[in-house]
Amino acid sequence: MVTEWKESNLRVAVCVLVVSLFFCLPAVSKQDKPSTAKKPQVRSSELQIDEAISSGVDYIKKKQKKYGGWTIVEPKKELGVGSVQRQHTTRYEPGVTAFAVYTLLKSECPLDDLSVVPGINYLLSIGIFTNTPHSVAADLTTYDVAMISVALSYAIEKVSENKATPSLVDLSACRRQVVQAVQWLVKAQHHDDQKRNRKKSGDEIQLVSSEERGFELSILRDANSGAWGYKMDGSGPYDNSNTQFALLGLRAAQNIKNDQTCTDVDIPRDVWQRALAHLVSSQINGGWGYRNEPSVVETMTVAGIGGMIICISSLADNPPTSRIMKTSEIAQALALVEQMYPKQTANRFLDGYMLFSLERTCMLGGITTIGSHDWYRDGVAMLLRRRNSDGYFCGRGSCSDNTVQTCFALLFLKKVYVPIR
């Protein structure tokens, strides 16, 4: 009996030891995994983002033409025999080049980078008001000129931040080109003075605000409005996409004026007031369409919110963002975006332009979530799935060009746009 009891206990002890070892090993593993299960997951995501940005930068550089620019269409005709002979294209080449340069700079390429320098020099060769051996002024669009302002303004800003003058970039020429770009955008604003009882052009409206309700914008419904189309001469209708880019270009220039790095920039107050009046009067059911159509478009609604933030900040001398975001028109638009987000806006993430507009606006307004949705996390997940093995990002939308879509993607992933100062 004693022997049986000992053997029985021995068997039990062995079983307990085996079971203990079986369960203890995972227990030890689980103890380690909270620190290695979460962190590697976050770190893995961060590494994927860094890798995606790095390979995206390499792809953009590979697509640069010998003359320093980028294009989204095949060359159509020869133009000029200047120091840089090139093929002239008629579709957004200056704008795409500026977009690529801006993306490279925002992706932490230095100003003396071997792709950035010829890109900037190409932008400086563009004649904004006059033809040059490398460009035809009449071919320029609002997209082109606005992005020239954005890219060169950031180049100037980057020099100021680093407190070092690059030896290969002519900063004085950059400032002159930004000033001309601003003049072009001011002249290109379409004025709508048709409605009777509207305040006369030039009449300033002082915006009134409160901490609880934000800014009162209803007075602007009867004010002269202004928006942008493709051309400076006013041919063709305005649209809210060109208007978004124009406001981004103007505000980028205003920033470097406020920083005292380009004091010659002159943006009349009336430009901001007209643009804000346009956004107020064209808002439909809380959102905006591409033009004046009754249907609301997610991308244009996001862009409209960003445009309102820029205009209010410019007119009210940079008030607290929290106060701006309480403005009734902005709150209505945000509620609409939140409503559209799960079904419609998420699908729009296939369009890089939507991501670009969303990032600009959310960074402007300090928006971290849309309802319960983390817009940045959702966008990153979508982008990483869309990333090609060659480093570029493909997408849908009005411009599905891989270079442009890659620029949209990298600017979203960097999440660095804070334009109001």
pLDDT tens for each residue of the chain, 421 residues long: 434 434 444 443 434 333 332 233 233 333 333 333 343 344 557 889 999 999 999 999 999 999 999 988 544 444 343 333 334 444 678 999 999 999 999 999 999 999 999 999 999 999 999 888 777 788 899 999 999 999 999 999 988 777 667 778 999 999 999 999 999 999 999 987 655 445 544 578 889 999 899 999 999 998 999 999 999 987 788 999 999 999 999 999 999 998 888 889 999 999 999 999 999 999 999 999 998 888 899 999 999 999 999 999 999 987 999 999 999 999 999 999 999 888 766 666 678 899 999 999 999 999 999 999 999 999 998 898 888 888 888 876 667 788 999 999 999 999 865 555 5
- Residue 356: per-residue pLDDT: 92
What whole-number distance in Å separates Cα of residue 320 and Cα of residue 212? 12
- Residue 168: per-residue pLDDT: 85
Q: How far is CA 364 from CA 100, 225, 324, 348, in A?
A: 22, 23, 10, 20
- Residue 167: per-residue pLDDT: 75
- Residue 187: per-residue pLDDT: 96
Measured at the CA of 180, the angle between CA 177 and CA 186, to 5 degrees, comes to 140
Burial label for 23, CB within 10 Å (0-12, 13-18, 19+), is exposed
- Residue 108: per-residue pLDDT: 93
- Residue 41: per-residue pLDDT: 43
What whole-number distance in Å separates Cα of residue 133 and Cα of residue 126? 9
Contact (CB, 8 A) for 186 and 232: no
What DSSP state is assigned to residue 407?
Answer: H
Widest CA span of the chain, in angstroms?
112
- Residue 197: per-residue pLDDT: 45
Contact (CB, 8 A) for 312 and 306: no
Per-domain residue ranges of the chain: 51-188
Q: How far is CA 259 from CA 135, 156, 240, 245, 309, in A?
A: 31, 10, 29, 21, 20
Contact (CB, 8 A) for 386 and 276: no
| Residues 221/295/272/174 CA torsion (nearest 10 deg) | -170
- Residue 164: per-residue pLDDT: 63
What whole-number distance in Å separates Cα of residue 382 and Cα of residue 376? 10
What whole-number distance in Å separates Cα of residue 117 and Cα of residue 94? 15
What whole-number distance in Å separates Cα of residue 93 and Cα of residue 76? 12
- Residue 398: per-residue pLDDT: 64
Closest-CA residue to 284 (of 275, 274, 297, 271)? 297
Closest-CA residue to 409 (of 57, 127, 169)? 57
